[in-house]
């Protein structure tokens, strides 16, 4: 079993050598590699947004209950 680290990107940019090369080593063709990298990046951005939104909501609730 091998561990492949895939860098998803920052600010809408996919780091091609860091995201596509590990996916190519897993046996995906170049078109599927590009599509998967874009989808993984979009998913990570959505998840990060959800995490930040939840944290902000919890902070507001905590602040309102302790004033």
pTM above 0.75, yes or no: no
- How far is the C-alpha of 37 from the C-alpha of 40, rounded, in Å? 5
31: how many CB neighbours lie within 10 A of its CB? 8
pLDDT tens digits, 23-45? 888 888 888 988 888 888 888 88
49: how many CB neighbours lie within 10 A of its CB? 10
Domain extents in the chain:
16-65
- 2 pLDDT above the threshold of 80: no
Q: Mean pLDDT for the chain?
A: 82
């Amino acid at each position: 079993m091998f561990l492949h680290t895939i860098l998803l990107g920052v600010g809408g940019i996919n780091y091609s050598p860091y995201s596509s090369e590990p996916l190519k080593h897993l046996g995906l063709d170049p078109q599927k590699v590009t599509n998967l990298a874009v989808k993984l990046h979009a998913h990570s951005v959505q998840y990060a947004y959800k995490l930040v939104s939840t944290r902000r909501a919890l902070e507001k609730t905590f602040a309102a209950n302790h004033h």
